Chain A
Amino acid sequence: MIRGTALFKVFGEPAPQALQMAQAGASRQEVLAATGCTVGVSDVSFEVERGELFVVMGLSGSGKSTLVRLINRLIPPTTGIMEIEGRDIAAMSQPELRTLRNRKLAMVFQHFALFPHRTVLENAAYGLRVRNEPAARASERAEWALAEVGLRDRGSAYPDELSGGMKQRVGLARALATDADVLLMDEPFSALDPLIRREVQDLLLKLQAELHKTIVFITHDLNEAMRLGDRILLMKDGRVVQQGTGPEILSAPADDYVSKFVADVDRTRVLTAENVMSEPRLVATLEERPEDLLRRLGQHEANAAYVLNGQRRIIGVAVDEQLAAAAQRGESSLSPGSFIDDYLTTTPGQPLIGLCSLVGRHAVPLAVVDDGGRMVGVVPRATLLAALAGSAQGESAESEMAHA
């Protein structure tokens, strides 16, 4: 849907020399010292799939706002190719580019950028009026967009009569009204206070579930990035530091810079059971002899084990006392009647915060089962604690996730 290839943006003169340095891999500081040019974006390549919520994350000055403006060519790249649906936008004439911006790429701004002299409804209808749609149809469409963002009744208000959160809803409505496939959102929620931010994030997720836009979302807040993003591109000093899903970045930071970043992230909300679970070290089948299982329990210093059937569904938990009794009776296989059901299960998508109250309450670890009821892994208490701490002891579990 959107593809950027080897994008560079150099601000200032002499651009060619600075570009050469940047292409040769010089850092932003080196280029600035040598040429006086600022490298906004340096060798960035990325691809956004249709329907994806793609987050570009970085601190201020990392080039992320420049990057989003390269997509709709508000800033032309110094070199590199920017393609929208396979069309190179550098090859477009000005009228074609305007049509593209108007119909395909809607934008939402950090400080809302509403037109203060127009009503909320006129603001929402702006994109449609630019393309000369009749007033009645534009109004109708704008009213729909306002209803989508929960501002149905505020159409006749002026922007300065609204709170920050409401203003950004208008900004969002203005973008939705044009029916563009792509939303470019430049730090849209950064200027809002935390509670309101949470609210509009939820609104965005709700709208996205309903409308399936392709969204490029800029933020400096990694928690926001993790919360919203299907995939995240991390930038520093104009360069890409890491690209991947939230859990990927959390569990396998590309370098120290990313590690420092993710240290602040609330891991309990980003990582899920799937990311930390491991293969159960000890499971039994009905055919196993009680004394064999008892011996294996001893080897693992455990006192209970899951018993699975052929489809890996949990039949129950065999406990050492019952096994000892069965062994004394000389039974040759496990009998379901002696199992207990002292165990808990969860789903792979459950965030860690939801697991805290479940682990460590039974002799067997928390079981992770898929939709079909099959066991896909377990979360021992120690693993969960290690993952929460993000410490080296969680290494084994985390290397698991990296493959996931």
Chain B
Amino acid sequence: MPRIYVGNGISTAINWLLAHLSGLFDAIATVTSHLVNWVGGAFSLPVWAMIVIFAIWAFLASGPGLAVFTVLAFLLIDSMRLWTQTMQTLGVVVVAALIATLIGVPLGVWAARRPLVGTITRPVLDFMQTLPVFVYLIPAVFFFGIGAVPGVVATMIFAIPPAVRLTELGIRQVDRETVEAAEAFGSTPSQILRQVQLPLALPSIMAGINQVIMLALSMVVVAGLVGAAGLGSTVVRSVTQLDVAGGFEGGIAVVILAIYLDRLTAALAAPRRRAPTRLRPETAPPVSDSPQSATLAMAAVASQPAAEPTASK
């Protein structure tokens, strides 16, 4: 069996991309780093203010239990003197998850409606999900240098698959007769998507977003290897210095963040019922762009028709 130089081929391809599309990569880098700074800025309020905001979200999404946990857990992070790193990590996770959702959910919708797209995306997603995560970092550094941007990009690629898969699954699982009913009453394809398929697929889509965030969080620590500031670099430094205490403190902060984000998004994913209202006027899908509610904004992006606040008359 002759040696097939697969790796060389990929390396050549990446060199070619670097030579010919560097402008594109610079643009992506600029946009991404702005986004990270912007979100990071939003998370740089005083500690007590951030904790209050986190607790309010927890209370609204889940209830008093999660709110109490949130306050205590984030106070612990502050007392471990890891607050800044935690917020940096949160910023990278939010940006990566946001981009992954914005790419993954529409792709999932497309795949659900066009079997061919589904057939093509499936092996690509398998590849993206199973390739060891460190491998992404190498070309990411080539393209975007050192820092938060390659971390975000590698994290995002790693985190896209569940958004696509669970969106596709959710839309496919919507009862055929229900979709047919919408069609039989003269709905346009986009009305069917917005008014029937997306709202009914919402629990599945939200479960996908939950997975996206969890994967992003697991990846973001690895991203510390390429110099992304945050808990990742804390952990990486502890590993190189064999600092057990520092390593565990960084690790515990990651766990707290993971539990908080998981419970928050899982609560949003659980199907809930709107309070009975009269008919709502159909409005254009709102684009939620408040940086304060970046996580919630992701939810809103995926769930416009159902999750938009009901404007009752």
Contact = CB atoms under 8 A, between A and B. Distances in A.
Contact of B185 (A106, A111, A156): A106
A368 to B, nearest CB: 45
A102 B177 contact: no
Interface residues of B, number: 27
A129 B279 contact: yes
Which of B184, B200, B277 is packed against the most chain A CB atoms within 10 Å?
B184
Given A109-B181, A113-B178, A115-B178, A99 B186 contact: yes
Given A111-B177, A117-B306, A130-B191, A178 B185 contact: yes
Contacts of A119: 276-277
A67 to B, nearest CB: 15
B188 interface: yes
B184 A72 contact: yes
A135 B181 contact: no
Interface stretch (A120-128, A276-284, A299-307, A369-377): A120-128
A107 B182 CA distance: 10
Contacts of B191: 130
Contacts of B159: none
A131 B141 CA distance: 53
Contacts of B46: none
A113 B177 contact: yes
Interface residues of A, number: 39
Contacts of B180: 74, 109, 113
Contacts of B247: none
A378 interface: no
B178 A101 contact: no
Contacts of B184: 72, 74, 101, 105-107, 184
A130 B195 CA distance: 10
Contacts of B181: 107, 109, 113-115
Interface in B276-313: 276-282, 306, 313
B183 interface: yes
A156 B313 contact: no
A125 to B, nearest CB: 6
Given A113-B177, A158-B273, A98 B186 contact: yes
B175 interface: yes
B56 to A, nearest CB: 26
A131 B187 CA distance: 8
A40 B121 CA distance: 33
B196 interface: yes
B276 A156 contact: yes
Interface string B265-282: 000000001001111111
B313 A117 contact: no
B199 interface: yes
A110 interface: yes
B200 A135 contact: no
A31 interface: no
Contacts of A110: 177
A298 interface: no
A98 B191 CA distance: 12
A141 to B, nearest CB: 11
B180 to A, nearest CB: 6
A135 B185 contact: no
A129 B183 CA distance: 13
A116 B175 CA distance: 10
Contacts of A174: 185
A139 interface: yes
A169 B98 CA distance: 43
A31 B307 CA distance: 49
B161 to A, nearest CB: 27
A138 interface: yes
Contact of B196 (A99, A101, A115): A115
Given A102-B186, A113-B181, A158-B273, 4 more contacts: A115-B195, A121-B278, A129-B282, A135-B281
Interface of B: 175, 177-178, 180-188, 191, 195-196, 199-200, 273, 276-282, 306, 313
17 contacts: A74-B183, A99-B186, A101-B183, A106-B185, A109-B180, A110-B177, A113-B178, A113-B180, A125-B279, A129-B279, A130-B185, A132-B282, A135-B280, A135-B281, A156-B276, A158-B276, A184-B184
Interface of A: 72, 74, 98-103, 105-107, 109-111, 113-117, 119, 121-122, 125-127, 129-132, 135-136, 138-139, 156-158, 174, 178, 184
